[in-house]
Structure 1
């Protein structure tokens, strides 16, 4: 089967990483795979893997992009179009109106907010990355029997712990060997969207957290505000801004736990990645996070905006290395059983084959 994966861009992000990982996995299974996007650093990665990339300016001109997709579909005798993100889904639906080919859409976030996004209901199958997203789509009026939950997968060969790296990472950052260290991995849109402000407040205000360290992995428009806040509150020696890191698994070994007090998550891929690295996770119970974290076994789910409870759960981890180790091991097993990329890929293949007959 010839599969065309479509995504607006190929910079680092949840949907983009999903597309790159899926493309490589499908190629290894013998599928002919190509990708259409507006470009980005992952496009070069795909070319190195022998996967053809087509430039299509999806976010800038839907009509032109739909026409370009039509030409790619016809030229390459594409059997399945698999779109990712609302813009890609809308574009693929328009192309489908001119060329008969099944279209699958993976919803990496909630959708159906306007008339354009409602056209995604014309897709043959809609994959939701969490049951939360599926139920949300049903409430929005999408056809229930088109919707299927397939959790995003983790490459367990890539995300695996290596305790020998811990000392090296901490030495490079100036973190004491025995200091309880938490990590947050996300785009920094602002200080509140992913909960950076909540973590900083704990480091500032709570007496038991005065020796804790924080690794901030990611960048975004809010980074300068974050750095100013760190400087203003004399947290420079305990908060380490590491910027954007492509292979985040290379630095997660430096942390004892991962925290993600987001306002909202449709799934929370970084939670699964951290658990694969045998890190206990602490997150607000929002959106799809309760489907990712097995509460009190692989980490803790906390009521949104409950800073005292967030601090209490982090204290439990700070006070017990044995608890961190046991939760980390449970987390790895949990990911192996539920979020292995092989599970996801096999389910995708089943969907492709059901539509491509």
Structure 2
């Protein structure tokens, strides 16, 4: 199996599980596309019927299926071992608990050169072994998540932070949102979640008073659209929002502070513009899809080049996606992901 050198093209597989399409799933698909554009072969493993497997298949990625019903799912483990032997992937990247146990162990047993686990959540971990033994390295989506993992017993040298990246939004000459809502030009429209660009750009400010957030892709998308953002001072959110820099940062579960911040921005169009412009600049400089993809590839290459993984036990490891009957499944590219655990 060819090692991943400075200019080589790698083969990577992702394992993941989840029935929905939250920030973790969105990041995984964006990462797959960016790596493929850079010449790497990326494939996915997920339970049959998983939503995460649908979009990659539409985009032309190879999608494999395994149930991954838990750490003791021997049948899935053997199926994944056969896939890893047959395709000789360079990297296995997992994204949740069950997939890290099942696929990760399979990767270790067959000698996959590099196993990486990505941690997307700001929740207590369910299995320390998936971070300290099964995976060679861990990617945290924020410094907050990295600090938590270290406090839980993961060696600091095993964990690196790679922020989410977003595709730069297409310019919208003029939002039609006010006309659609029958509002005049002086109306100020607040937004909490939006999927369509013209809706997001027709709003100011963007509000997301979350109580828990590993990082917050919604904030990044709003910043990229030039919106001032109102967020809460929890978990990884302060890594995105500087108070009175590109938005307003509030204490969580404080409706009075949220009301005051909203009124402050409604009454001050100059401040809205100032914060929105700075948010756009920050998103372009720090949270682009190219940043995320290049940092991920650099991590793979550095570890393979110095031979670190070869000295940490079996030569390769992959992380598995958590699978249960309640969640039809997510996907895995030779880096894997899920949304649980």
**Structure 1: segments with no counterpart, 5+ residues:** 186-216, 218-246
Q: In the TM superposition, what are the counterparts of 1:103-252 in structure 2 within 5 Å? A: 103-110=115-122, 113-114=125-126, 116-122=127-133, 123-156=135-168, 159-164=169-174, 166=175, 168-185=176-193, 217=194, 247-252=195-200
How far residue 62 of structure 1 moved from its aligned partner, in angstroms, is 5.4
> Residue in 1 aligned with 2:285?
337
Unaligned runs of 5+ in 2: 1-9, 306-341
Matched, 1:255 2:203: yes
| Conserved? CA contact 2:144–2:214, under 8 Å | yes
Aligned 8 A contact 1:7 1:15 in 2: no
Q: Paired residue for 1:73, among 84, 90, 93?
A: 84
TM-score computed with the length of structure 2 as normaliser: 0.79
- After superposition, the Cα gap between the structure-2 partners of 1:252 and 1:184, relative to the gap in structure 1 and judged at 3 Å, is same
Q: Which has the higher contact order (CA 8 A, sep 6+)?
A: 2
Q: Which residue of 2 aligns with 1:322?
A: 270
Equivalent position of 1:6 in the other structure: 15
Residues in 1 aligned to 2:72 and 2:33: alpha-carbon distance in whole angstroms: 27
Deviation at 1:160, TM superposition (A): 4.3
Distance 1:145 1:60, change over 3 A: closer
1:28 corresponding residue in structure 2? 37
After TM superposition, the score normalised by the length of structure 1 is 0.76
Find the aligned partners of 2:72 and 2:30 in 1 and give their Cα distance: 25
What are the Cα deviations for residues 238-266 of structure 1, in whole angstroms up to 9, with x where unaligned?
xxxxxxxxx44353123112111111111
Aligned residues: 292
Contact in 2 for aligned 1:8/1:57 (Cα 8 Å): no
- Distance, in Å, in 1 between the alignment partners of 2:159 and 2:283 is 23
Question: 2: distance between equivalents of 1:267 and 1:29?
Answer: 26
- The one of 58, 70, 76 equivalent to 1:48 is 58
What do the CA deviations read for 1:291-328 (whole angstroms, capped 9, x no partner)? 01122121010011222222221112101222222211
1:145-173 Cα deviation digits (max 9, x unpaired): 101111111111xx245251x2x233334
8 Å Cα contact 1:275-1:331 kept in structure 2: yes
Matched residue, 2:237: 289
Q: Which has the higher helix share?
A: 1
Is 1:276 matched up with 2:240?
no
